[in-house]
Structures are given as structure tokens and as C-alpha cells.
A and B are shown apart, each in its own frame.
Chain A
Amino acid sequence: MAITKVWIEDGCIVCNACEAECADVFHVTADTCVIRADARQDGAEDENRAAKNPLKESIGASLEAAIKSAAAGCPVSVIKYEAVASEAPAKADDVDAAVNKALGMGGSVDDDIDAAVASLQAEDGGLPAKTGYVWDIKAAPNREVVMPKAAPLPSYRIFVAEQEAAKAADEAKWQKQLSDFEAAKAKAAEEGKPEPKAPVRAVPAKNETDMAFPAPTEAQAPELKRLMELLGDKVEEAFEQAGEMTCQVKKEAILEALRLCKDDAALKFEMLADETATHYPAAQGYAFSVVYHLTSVSRSRRLRLRILVPEGFEPESAEQVYPTANWLEREIFDMLGIRFAHHTNLVRILCPDDWEGFALRKDYPTLGLGQREISFREDRSGMLMKLAMEAAGNLGINLTVPKPE
């Protein structure tokens, strides 16, 4: 991918965010943001709204990530861009590959999700076919969804593997720089030219903000140790991060883990504060994580239990231990489509009973059929009505303009 054009829509609030993110392209003036002359082919410096003059190719390719990040971070979303797919296939990221290798997961993370879904649908009794919200992208292009490329599962194991892979990649880069330098030196000596400059190892930028990422650490808390001792190999992982304890157990053992947490004298997590789930369509081996936030009222402690479940798996309902899970699990079913075994009343709770699809899945679009994002800044004298009638036409509805009596 490379960015071909970038322009600023009306409504810039001069917040400087884009310039902080990508100063080579954006420049914030007293009343708006402009595209720098150096970055453009025509050399003018303005908002580029009407002209949509293309960017210089080198800039569009090299600063793609920074431009996209600035556009995503714009608080009023006025930075727009056009991008083309580059011809060379994108290489799998070195770090990703190394992480996969370290975790024993073969292949790239960017697996073909559609193929996987299709193969599941082909099997009898597999995933229910998407009979729900079938939509026609051509009729309503704004329903297209961008699927996440990675599965951000917080985990100490993955974090350590990532750190090691990044360190190894950094070391390899440095070794390559050194060997390049040696080769250049030898070549220069051969040709009698002055010696090239020795490379300097890049040091990570100093953090000058009040922000320090809370890295996960090994399980130290007595609760986690007690759980690991009681559950043995049913614990998949236990770690601490941002002052919170997380214990990931095998999906079949969740009921046992919940019972222990509630009844064990050393744990005594009497209350289930919250239960929710997250959709990870890009993950391998599972599709959802279900998390249980337990509170010990008597000891003022919190614990997060987590299970990873594949599509179609029905975890045991926590209602059997904590009655409050009744509504919480109904909400999970309503929003993410996870069914729970032995739940007393697993019906939709927030959406109507005949609703189609599960809204908090990542493949569920944010805009409805024929619906479009309305910009309140655009001409109100008929533009919206025209677009609404077009949208209605897509649905096969004939609207007529109301006539004043």
C-alpha cells in the first residue's frame, strides 16, 4: 500500500496532532492544517481539498504509516487520503514471524479467515451459515468492515516472546550494519578513498511523557499461586499486569475454577462483578476470550479468570455458581453469539428477539444498510435528501419529495 493523495476536509480545529505525528506532510497554521509544499507534486501549500494534488511518490510510500496514523488520530476526522495497493506482495513482518516461531504456531498470522469460515460452513453442524445479516456490499458499500489483522491477547508468554524476537531483530540489524561498514571500509581502502563513517547503534528514544506502558510480569500474588496449586495443569497461564491478576484456565475447567474461587477459604471471591467476552477473528485456535472479573468483598481483591473458546464451543454457565451471571451471559450471547451450557434463560436481552447478527463481533458493520455517515458541515439545502433518496433506491423503496400544501 502507498498513499497517493491526502487532503484536509473542512473543520480542522488546529489541534497540532497531525503535525506531531507526521511533520513532513502536515503543517498546522493559525486557522487550519495544510499539506506541505515539499510533499506535493505541484509544490503548492494549501489544504488540497479541491485540487487533490497527488503526493510525491517517495513520500506516499515511506510515510504511509505516519499519514494513516495521523488520519486515525485526528479528533475531528478531517484528514482524508487515497491509497493504492503496492504491486509487491507485503512481506510478513519479521517480528510476527519470530513470535509465531517462538510460540510454535506455524505460518503467518494473516491467515485466510474467509477460507476458514467457508470450510467450517461446509461441514455439517459446523458454524451456522451467515443466514443472519447477509448484505450486499455493492448496494451498500459503507457496510464494508475492516477485519483486525492481529489478535491482541494480553499475555505474559506472548509478551516475552515478542520482546525476545524484537531484541534478536535489533541485534541482527546491527550486525548487518557492522558487516556493511566493514565491506565498505575494505572497498574504500582498495580504491584509496577516505574511510566511510562508522555506524552508530540507534538507542531507543527517551520517554519524555508521563506515560509508561505497564508490562506484564510473572504471577507473584498469593491468590494466583494458590489457584495454580489447586488447579494444576488446568491453568494455562497466570500473570499480573497493570496491578491486575489474570488467570487463564482450560475452557472445560471454568466451572471448577469458579467454584474454587468462591468457596476456597484462601480465595473467597464472593462476587462476580462482571463477565464479558472479546472477539478475536484473527486468532488461531480460538475465536473468543471470555473474562470473569471476580471481587472478594471481604478481602478487597480482584481477580480475572479467562478462557479462550473457539466458535461453536459452549462454556458452562457461571450462573451455576454466581446467579448474577444470568443477565451478563445473556448480554454476551446477545452481543457476541456465545452460547452457554446449562443457562436457565439464554435469550437476547438488549436487542429485540428477532435481531439478526451479533453486534459486537468484529465482522459486524457499524453502519446499517443504506445508512451513511452524515456530515453536518455539508450543504443542507437538498444534498442530504438526494443522498437519502439514493439510499432508499438501493433498498427498492420509492420516496417522493413532499410537496408543500
Chain B
Amino acid sequence: MFKNEEMEINLGPQHPSTHGVLRVKLRLDGETIKHCYPVIGYLHRGVEKICENKTFFQGQVWTDRMDYVAAVSNNLGWAEAVEKLMGISVPRRARYVRTLLTELNRISSHLLWLGTHAMDIGAMTVFLYAFREREEILDIFEAFCGARLTTTAFRIGGLRDDIPPGFEAKVRAFQDRFLACVDEYEELLTENRIWKKRTVGVAPISAEDCIAMGVTGPVLRAAGVAYDIRKAFPYAAYSEMQFDVPTRMEADTYARYQVRLEEMKQSHRIVQQCMDGLPEGAVMAKLPKILKSEVNEVYHAIEAPKGELGYYLVGEKGGVNPYRFHVRGPSFVNLQALPMMTEGKLLADVIAAIGTLDVVLGEVDR
């Protein structure tokens, strides 16, 4: 009659829904997943080794290329980790501008996630809406530093230049428009019956499992844990900002969607506060021309759009490059939870699960 043996299939590495080159080995019983095993490393470039052989200034450009949709966050982590290693104090104005750009980057990263995740699941229109606003943010980055994706936006000790003329008007124009745009996405998705069928109750992971697997970011917050590094270990100018940490209790794909939408609104709030309260003053600390470290080790983590992005640096005496550099990428650690979220569920849910984890393979493989 019917054969009932299990079948093994490969999802990826070139499947468009894997957001890069992720390969997932799946063992299926009918449409049910019995075993899920992610295989990574296709984009491994050895960023850590390269940065250990470059000076502290040169290392920053490599951080752009890890999570390439959130390069500004990566730059911020690098600059702050090096500053912590050497004990550099950054001017307040520079910290405000850094916060502003990082929050705009969080919005742009979430917009890319929203567009591609919705497209994976079958809602094509949202993609076009989301990319419309993302384009505007990339224009702001271009006005600030000349690059749209690989920004290298900051310098160790502050900023290379102050904000350019016309920058403020650009940001304010975006700010005025953006909240109405979020309502547009919500109109398209939040009460959409097909969207809800594909996301409600799909790929759940409990708060205990999240913490055991080291999962951070919106996935953890959608499970009810209000852990946000901006609040827990404030950096840049976040200690001076008013914002909420959105959480949900359902811990499913739909809850993560709600958390990310709410986060965009909170980021919008922070950007507004940065613009209104931007202090006067210098944007660069006084530093020697050649930065030399002492023997020290630091672990500095920031709340990247995807979760906890940690940089571990070891300095040697008189060294112009780090003795050891290690990246704790949120995508890398979060992806580890994929089997936990999908085993026993349906094949179609794997696509939703990869999308909802919001991994960027450039950061997973480094």
C-alpha cells in the first residue's frame, strides 16, 4: 500500500527563504518534522582572524560585513568595545548621534525582516511598503557617511564628522511620516486571516527554553521576558532616553511580529528624543594618533536588532591590534534554537521559523 519510511530532505543552502546560505537537514515523516539539523559555515570568512591582524581602526570595516542589514549596530558595538578596552570617554553629542543612527538602523533592519518574512509566508505587498521606508533610512545613512549598507559610521572615540547640513530636516521628515506607515503595515497584516493562520501558534519556544539556549532579542521578549540590554546594561545614550520594552506572553511567530512592530515605534520615540535633545559640543575625544592597548579583556554587548551582540576583546601591552577578537552574534546563538522550535511541527512552519528568528547568515558564519 503506502510506504511509511521517513524521508530526509535538504532545505537550502540556496533556497530563497533561508535568507542567505543556510542548509537545514530535515527528516520527515509525511509532512511532520522528526529531526532538524542546521548546517552553517557557507559564508565563513574568518572575520575574527582578520581583525586580529588589523589595527583597531581597520577592524571596524569588517564589522559592517557581519550583519550587513544592521551595520550601524555592529559599528557601535566595535567602537564601544574598543573604547571600553582602552578606557576612552566619548563626548555626549557623539553618544546621542550614535544612538540616533543605531535606532534608525533598528527600524531599517526590522523593516527588512518584515518585508522578507511576510513574503516567505505569502504576503507580497508588505515587502514593497517596507522597502519604501527602508530606502528613506538608507538615504539618511548616505547623507551622514556616504554609504548605505556598509556604513563604518562611527570612529573609535566618537564620530569622524558632525552631522551634515540638511541631516536634521531629512530625519524629521522621516519621523513625521513613519508612524502612519506602521499603521499601514498593521492594516495589511495584523487582522489578516491568512497571516494569522500562518503565524499564530507557529514555532513556539518558551521563556525557559530561550534562556537555556541563550536566545535573546525580540524572540525572548515575545516569550514574556523583558530583557533588553539597553535597559539592563545601558550604553551610548540609552540611560537618558525614555522608552518601553514591549513584551508578549504567547511566544509564537505572531507575538514576535507584534513585538517587532512595537519596537519600531519605540525606536521612533528614541530618535525623536535624540533629535530634540541633541547636545552641543565636540563629537570626537582627544586621542593619540596611534591607539595602543594595555593588557585587558572586555566583553561588551549591545542590543542589536536581532538580540545580544557581544564583542570580546583581549588587548596586549602596546598592541595596535587586538590580541584576540571574538563575536557573539545573536543570529548564531538564536539559530541554535531552530530544531527546538520546529521538531514535531509541519514542514511549512520551518520557513516561518527561519523568518521569525530573523537570522542573517553573514553574522552566523562570520
B86 touches A213 (CB 8 A): yes
List which B298-323 residues lie within 8 A (CB) of chain A. 298-299, 301, 308, 310, 312, 314-321, 323
What is the CA–CA distance of A148 and B295 in the complex, to the nearest angstrom?
14
Task: Choose among A213, A241, A323 the residue that contacts B212 (Cβ–Cβ < 8 A).
Answer: A323
Interface bits B273-300 vs A (CB < 8 Å: 1, else 0): 0000000000001111111101111110
Number of A-B contacts (CB under 8 A): 156
Task: Choose among A20, A75, A276, A327 the residue that contacts B288 (Cβ–Cβ < 8 A).
Answer: A20
Question: Within 8 Å CB of A328, what residues of B?
Answer: 333
CB distance from B344 to the nearest CB of A (A): 18
Interface residue? B326 (CB, 8 A): yes
Interface residue? B258 (CB, 8 A): no
A242 touches B289 (CB 8 A): no
Interface residue? B40 (CB, 8 A): yes
Question: Within 8 Å CB of A273, what residues of B?
Answer: 214, 299, 301, 308, 310, 328
Task: Choose among B90, B336, B365 the residue that contacts A324 (Cβ–Cβ < 8 A).
Answer: B336
Question: Within 8 Å CB of A211, what residues of B?
Answer: 86-88, 285, 287-288
Question: Within 8 Å CB of A16, what residues of B?
Answer: 289
Question: Within 8 Å CB of A326, what residues of B?
Answer: 336
B287's closest neighbor in chain A, by CB?
A: A209
Question: Within 8 Å CB of A291, what residues of B?
Answer: 297, 299, 312
Interface residue? B58 (CB, 8 A): yes
B38's closest neighbor in chain A, by CB?
A: A327
List which A109-158 residues lie within 8 A (CB) of chain B. 148, 150, 152-154, 158
What is the CA–CA distance of A120 and B319 in the complex, to the nearest angstrom?
30
Interface residue? B41 (CB, 8 A): yes
Interface residue? A183 (CB, 8 A): no
Interface bits A206-240 vs B (CB < 8 Å: 1, else 0): 00111111100000000000000000000000000
What is the CA–CA distance of A352 and B39 in the complex, to the nearest angstrom?
10
Segment among B27-35, B49-57, B118-126, B134-142 that sits at the interface with chain A? B49-57
Interface residue? B95 (CB, 8 A): no
Task: Choose among A152, A276, A297, A324 the residue that contacts B326 (Cβ–Cβ < 8 A).
Answer: A276
Interface residue? B46 (CB, 8 A): yes
What is the CA–CA distance of A327 and B212 in the complex, to the nearest angstrom?
13
Segment among B2-10, B70-78, B225-233, B351-359 that sits at the interface with chain A? B225-233
Interface range, B side: 35 or more
B328 touches A69 (CB 8 A): no
B214 touches A278 (CB 8 A): no
Chain A CB within 10 Å, residue with most, of B44, B291, B318, B321: B44
Interface residue? A304 (CB, 8 A): yes
B49 touches A366 (CB 8 A): yes
Interface residue? A302 (CB, 8 A): yes
What is the CA–CA distance of A361 and B44 in the complex, to the nearest angstrom?
17
B295 touches A209 (CB 8 A): no
Interface residue? A350 (CB, 8 A): yes
What is the CA–CA distance of A211 and B89 in the complex, to the nearest angstrom?
7
A210 touches B289 (CB 8 A): no
B315 touches A152 (CB 8 A): yes
Known contacts A302-B233, A323-B212: A75-B58 contact under CB 8 Å: yes
What is the CA–CA distance of A328 and B308 in the complex, to the nearest angstrom?
15
List which A246-282 residues lie within 8 A (CB) of chain B. 246, 270-274, 276, 278-279
A150 touches B40 (CB 8 A): no
A322 touches B323 (CB 8 A): no
Question: Within 8 Å CB of B265, what residues of A?
Answer: none
Q: A152-B314, A154-B297, A297-B211 are in contact. List 16 more A-B contacts (CB 8 A).
A: A69-B318, A75-B57, A152-B316, A210-B286, A211-B86, A211-B88, A211-B288, A242-B84, A271-B214, A273-B299, A273-B328, A274-B299, A274-B326, A349-B40, A360-B52, A366-B53
B residues sitting closer than 8 Å to A (CB atoms) are 40-41, 44, 46, 48-50, 52-53, 55, 57-58, 84-90, 157, 211-214, 225, 227, 232-233, 285-292, 294-299, 301, 308, 310, 312, 314-321, 323-324, 326, 328, 332-333, 336, 365-366
Closest 6 CB pairs of A and B: A73-B290, A324-B214, A152-B316, A210-B285, A20-B289, A274-B328
